């Protein structure tokens, strides 16, 4: 596989952009080698600047549930372009997108549009703190909610001590208000809540974790969290930036039947353009300026180009809920094929899948939280990644990310993945 031009561009990029990328994961640091510079994407495929074509199982880290540039999104964007791009004034499109989000997401009666998942989650935390008049929050080790200071925190010395910054620039003052619990361990949450009575404003969680690789909630875990929040006057925040519209029209909260107090969204709701959102009950959301005192704002929030793309995607989802059956069929076909490949080499690696998001962990232990995920063999993953890449399969460039299947992926492409993986496993394990 030729990467001459990608390599050249990467060297140039590193002169002007830290690490040559505008988001760290893209730099291939976890797998080594040169990141491919993508020239175009169409359907299930991407083409890099050296002319290599790949079947894309990253889908821009989740947004492209219909593949790259589906016609109905492209036409919508072109149509909107004729009217201009951004006005800093209300438009009809943002009302329609807000209306549709409120209609489809069980927990959302009112929603504020922003430009990224991070803006959504950071604003949700500010709102929860204001609503409860409390300052502390609980997040889970291994869950990622964007780069807001309060989230860039690791567990302190003991499970019950407050967090410590895990990035320079995050102050001890900020980190001390964040507690870290263990995913799928309700007792770890309970202990922190009991240690800090009436001080926890919010518990934020990825209802299906995607940022340690895919880790589903254990049976009853989300409901127990919800019950604890209700009993303790804590707001439950479902970060559905990945799972929103990925797992069902109503996201993970529809799939698991657990309704949070606030939901954050991103990725799919922008149809490939920058849109984030956070929403919940009216009594909470009306605390936001200008109706309430909680300030939050954004120049390009709700801009008609991005919102039109998101609106086209959500309208399609609303009118065609059968897409989730197709996604489930293709994803289960892939899961089956991977399991057969593993068994043919006597490997019992762990594959976690919910709907069209999945991760093959190169570890034989069950993966239910960050600690167990970290037992994966990341060196082996890096080798697997590059061998698959050389054969035209573009996987997440980290063991601890989710891979995605889109509506554009065909059954033949799934079969090609399985066949290619078998060849790679032969090289790795024979």
Among 10, 57, 61, 66, binds ligand KE4 (CB under 6 A): 61
Judge whether 144 counts as a catalytic residue. yes
Active site residue 407: no
Q: How far is the CB of 267 from ligand KE4 (least distance, A)?
A: 7
**Contacts of ligand KE4 in 269-288 (CB under 6 A):** 276
Our answer to whether residue 239 is catalytic in this structure is: yes
CB contact at 8 A, 202 and 217: no
Instruction: Check binding of 144 to ligand KE4 (CB under 6 A).
Output: yes
Calculate the CA 302 to chain-centre distance: 20
The verdict on 117 binding ligand KE4 (CB under 6 A) reads: yes
Q: Which x/- pattern, by CB under 6 A, does the window 173-212 give for ligand KE4?
A: ---------------------------------x---xx-
d(CA 350, CA 336): 13
221 binds ligand KE4 (CB under 6 A): no
Q: How far is the CB of 205 from ligand KE4 (least distance, A)?
A: 10
Q: Is 153 in the site for ligand KE4 (CB under 6 A)?
A: no
Q: Which stretch in 43-51, 143-151, 300-308, 421-429 sits in contact with ligand KE4 by CB under 6 A?
A: 143-151
Q: Which residue do the tokens 């929860």 mark? A: 128
Q: How far is the CB of 354 from ligand KE4 (least distance, A)?
A: 14
Cα 230 to Cα 218: distance, rounded to the nearest angstrom? 20
Q: Which residue is nearest to ligand KE4 (CB)?
A: 117
- Which one of 131, 144, 183, 407 is the catalytic residue? 144
253 binding ligand KE4? (CB under 6 A): no
CA distance 336 to 358: 12
Q: Which stretch binds ligand KE4 (CB under 6 A): 156-164, 193-201, 238-246, 421-429?
A: 238-246
Which member of 136, 139, 267, 330 is catalytic?
267
Q: Name the catalytic one among 48, 56, 239, 261.
A: 239
Sign of the Cα pseudo-torsion (333, 334, 337, 338, in order): negative
Residue 23 in the binding site for ligand KE4 (CB under 6 A): yes
Q: How far is the CB of 274 from ligand KE4 (least distance, A)?
A: 7
398 binds ligand KE4 (CB under 6 A): no
CB of 276 to ligand KE4, least distance (A): 6
Residue of 80, 91, 116, 263 that binds ligand KE4 (CB under 6 A): 116
- Site for ligand KE4 contains 56 (CB under 6 A): no
Q: Which is nearer to ligand KE4, 140 or 417 (CB)?
A: 140
Q: Compare residues 342 and 395 and give the one whose CB is closer to ligand KE4.
A: 395
Residue 218 Cβ, how far from ligand KE4 at the closest point, in Å? 19
Which residues from 314-353 bind ligand KE4, rule CB under 6 A? none
Provide the minimum distance between the beta carbon of 256 and ligand KE4 in the complex, in angstroms, as a whole number: 16
Residues within the interface to ligand KE4 (CB under 6 A): 23, 25, 61, 116-118, 121, 144-146, 206, 210-211, 239, 241-242, 266, 276, 401
Active site residue ranges: 144, 239, 267
């Amino acid at each position: 596989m030729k990467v001459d031009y990608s390599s050249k561009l990467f060297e140039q990029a590193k002169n002007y952009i830290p690490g040559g990328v505008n988001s760290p994961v893209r730099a291939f640091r976890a797998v080594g080698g040169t990141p491919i510079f993508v020239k175009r994407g169409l359907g299930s495929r991407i083409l890099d600047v050296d002319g290599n074509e790949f079947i894309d199982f990253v889908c821009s880290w989740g947004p492209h549930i219909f593949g790259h540039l589906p016609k109905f999104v492209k036409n919508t964007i072109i149509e909107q372009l004729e009217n201009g791009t951004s006005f800093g004034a209300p438009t009809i499109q943002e009302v329609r997108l807000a209306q549709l989000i409120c209609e489809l997401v069980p927990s959302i009666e009112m929603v504020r549009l922003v430009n990224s998942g991070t803006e959504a989650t950071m604003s949700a935390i500010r709102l929860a703190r204001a609503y409860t008049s409390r300052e502390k929050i609980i997040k889970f080790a291994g869950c990622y909610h964007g780069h807001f200071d309060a989230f860039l925190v690791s567990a302190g010395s003991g499970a019950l001590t407050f967090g410590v910054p895990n990035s320079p620039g995050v102050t001890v003052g900020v980190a001390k208000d964040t507690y870290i619990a263990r995913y799928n361990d309700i007792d770890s949450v309970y202990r922190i809540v009991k240690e800090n009575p009436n001080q926890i404003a919010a518990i934020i969680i990825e209802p299906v974790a995607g940022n340690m690789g895919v880790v589903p909630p254990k049976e009853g875990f989300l409901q127990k969290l919800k019950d604890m929040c209700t009993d303790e006057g804590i707001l439950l925040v479902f970060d559905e930036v990945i799972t929103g519209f990925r797992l069902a029209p109503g996201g993970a909260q529809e799939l698991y039947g657990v309704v949070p107090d606030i939901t954050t969204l991103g990725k799919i709701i922008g149809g490939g353009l920058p849109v984030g959102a956070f929403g919940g009950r009216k009594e909470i959301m009306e605390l936001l300026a200008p109706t309430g005192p909680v300030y939050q704002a954004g120049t390009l929030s709700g801009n008609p180009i991005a919102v039109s793309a998101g609106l086209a995607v959500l309208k399609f989802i609303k009118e065609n809920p059968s897409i989730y059956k197709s996604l489930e069929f293709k994803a289960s076909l892939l899961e089956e094929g991977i399991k057969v490949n593993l068994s043919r080499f006597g490997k019992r690696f762990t594959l976690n899948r919910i709907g069209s998001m999945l991760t093959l962990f190169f570890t034989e232990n069950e993966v239910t939280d960050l600690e167990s995920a970290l037992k994966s063999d990341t060196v082996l993953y890096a080798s697997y990644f590059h061998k698959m890449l050389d054969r035209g399969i573009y996987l997440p460039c980290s063991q601890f990310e989710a891979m995605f299947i889109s509506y554009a992926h065909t059954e033949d492409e799934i079969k090609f993945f399985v066949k290619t993986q078998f060849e790679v496993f032969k090289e790795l394990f024979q």
